[in-house]
Chain A
Amino acid sequence: MSDTSVVITSSQITELIDLVRRVHGFDFSGYTKASLKRRVVRIMQLKKMEFYDLKHILVNDQHFFQYFLEEITVNVTEMFRDPSFYKALSLQVMPYLSTYQHAKIWCAGCSTGEEVYSLAILLREAGLSKKSFIYGTDINTEVLREARKGIYSLRNIKSYAENYQFTGLKGSISDNFTILYDAASIHNELKQNTLFSVHNLVSDDVFNEFQLISCRNVFIYFETELQERILELFYKSLCPLGYLCLGSKETIRSEAFKRKFKVINHKENIYQKIGT
């Protein structure tokens, strides 16, 4: 239920973007406006704030900015979201990854880590745990803290169990957790080859070379121009013939990048870097 009385204009959104860039150094200008506006309205409703109050507190209160960042960037995620994607990854990509000495994977926009651990389970099932390493990055330090802990509510795990079932992987998702009361803690073996750190796709650069980059349901928040800048960053970060996975509703539309990436799975938006 939303309070329909909170209204802000597009020029106020622009004003807010400018303010956040000047004061905090985060650039949201390439974010899609309808979604951004919806998030800002949500904050104003939750905190019962007028637009002026929001600007005021954003300038004066660093803690509030952390909260703002968490609310603005959507952190809703699931383990094994889109089970058919994980199935495709097992069948079409894992065999290639196994040919490398060492497989480095970048999960960009990893939020609270559910996707990183889903990938870790998938790699283990493919027999690749020992020679793979997953980097999870996000702009938000708070979600990364949660990701490192790897502790999720039991209720959520139950809802991920259905996803897991559809992936075709054996066993059950709860085999990967130690459950204590209503908390499920991911097994240490799955945490071992992971590293979580801050990286801003909008402003930060290449930091390693990867065999696979997974960036799912992040592009939906970016306008086309920003998407293309980040595609360039991914292209530079991939080894020759490295894989790029986007969300199941996110496709590469730019002609220039269509030439640089070959489609491996059209439905799941799995691509492979070609050319140099």
Chain B
Amino acid sequence: MGPDKNLLDRWRTTELLLLGGSAGSFKLLFQMVKLLPDDLDKTVIIVIHRKRNFFSEIAKLFAENTRISLREIEDKDVLKKNTIYIAPANYHTLIEKGGYFSLDVSEAVWYSKPSIDVTFESAAEVYHDRCMAILLSGANQDGADGMLKLRRHGAVTIAQHPEDAEMDEMPTAAINNGGARYILRTDEIFKLLHTQ
């Protein structure tokens, strides 16, 4: 069964796509990025938990999977369409009303920096119902508060089905607090993102 019509309509018109993941979501995120249409008329922000001194070249690895322009966020970068942004390690990423990012080094949230909650909550205040968020596998509860706030601001919020998540705690938290408007199977998420 494909995604429902209302969800498809919202996907087509959404301006911002937020993807949040932690343990067990790396591979998924690579696959999702690969599925996004090249001429995507949206801004994409990916927040993934990782270690502070993990000198990986995540941005490079993502870039190999897509033709869409991709960069790790630097302070005061302007949010552009048809661009994928990766939240940098050891900073929180916030969105300002003027349509640009600001970074923050304050305390970790749920032991995480970047925190998914921080980015999702600030996206809610700027994008309201013009955004969609997907929360994937993870072993803590980061993202659930952010999803709830997004939903209250009219955004579309999707949690990966806990049975499909390698670590189900993160999507489960967003379902239990009412943050998730939709619960989708992994292949349903893939189908949705692949839709023009």
The 10 closest A-B pairs by CB, nearest first: A34-B94, A32-B102, A220-B103, A74-B106, A220-B75, A249-B74, A34-B122, A217-B105, A35-B104, A249-B75
Check: B128 CB closer than 8 A to any chain A CB: no
Nearest-Cβ distance from residue A251 to partner chain B, whole angstroms: 6
**Chain A, residue nearest B107 (CB):** A76
**Chain A, residue nearest B177 (CB):** A4
Task: Flag if B94 contacts A35 (CB, 8 Å).
Answer: yes
What chain B residues lie within 8 Å of A163 (beta carbons)?
53
| A249 with B145, Cβ < 8 A, contacts A34-B102, A35-B102, A76-B105 known | no
| A249 with B96, Cβ < 8 A, contacts A74-B105, A83-B53 known | no
Cα–Cα, bound, A104→B122 (Å): 40
What chain A residues lie within 8 Å of B105 (beta carbons)?
74, 76-77, 217, 220
Task: Flag if A253 contacts B53 (CB, 8 Å).
Answer: no
Task: Flag if A253 contacts B118 (CB, 8 Å).
Answer: no
Cα–Cα, bound, A83→B91 (Å): 15
Check: A256 CB closer than 8 A to any chain B CB: no
Q: Which of B53, B95, B104, B125 contacts A74 (CB 8 A)?
A: B104
**How many chain A residues have a CB neighbour from B under 8 Å?**
29
Listed by A's residue number, 22 A-B pairs whose Cβ atoms lie within 8 Å are: A1-B110, A1-B141, A2-B121, A4-B149, A32-B96, A32-B102, A33-B96, A33-B97, A34-B94, A35-B94, A38-B104, A38-B118, A74-B106, A83-B53, A84-B55, A217-B105, A219-B75, A220-B75, A221-B104, A247-B75, A251-B74, A251-B75
Q: Measuring CB to CB, which residues of chain B are less than 8 angstroms from any residue of chain A?
A: 53, 55, 73-76, 88, 90-91, 94-97, 102-107, 109-110, 117-118, 121-122, 125, 141, 145, 148-149, 152
Task: Flag if B74 contacts A250 (CB, 8 Å).
Answer: yes
Task: Flag if A224 contacts B104 (CB, 8 Å).
Answer: no
Check: A162 CB closer than 8 A to any chain B CB: yes
Cα–Cα, bound, A38→B96 (Å): 12
Residue of B74, B76, B107, B152 with most chain A CB atoms under a 10 A cut-off:
B76
Q: Which of A83, A84, A220, A253 contacts B104 (CB 8 A)?
A: A220
Task: Flag if B145 contacts A38 (CB, 8 Å).
Answer: no
Check: A172 CB closer than 8 A to any chain B CB: no
Q: Mark A3-32, 1 if CB is under 8 A from B, else 0.
A: 010000010000000000000000000001
Nearest-Cβ distance from residue B169 to partner chain A, whole angstroms: 14
Q: Which of A10, A76, A253 contacts B97 (CB 8 A)?
A: A10
> Within residues 203 to 256 of chain A, which ones have a CB less than 8 A from any CB in chain B?
217, 219-221, 224, 247, 249-251, 253
Cα–Cα, bound, A250→B91 (Å): 12
What chain A residues lie within 8 Å of B88 (beta carbons)?
249
Check: A166 CB closer than 8 A to any chain B CB: yes
Task: Flag if A32 contacts B107 (CB, 8 Å).
Answer: no
Cα–Cα, bound, A39→B152 (Å): 21
Task: Flag if A4 contacts B148 (CB, 8 Å).
Answer: yes
Nearest-Cβ distance from residue A156 to partner chain B, whole angstroms: 13
What chain B residues lie within 8 Å of A33 (beta carbons)?
96-97
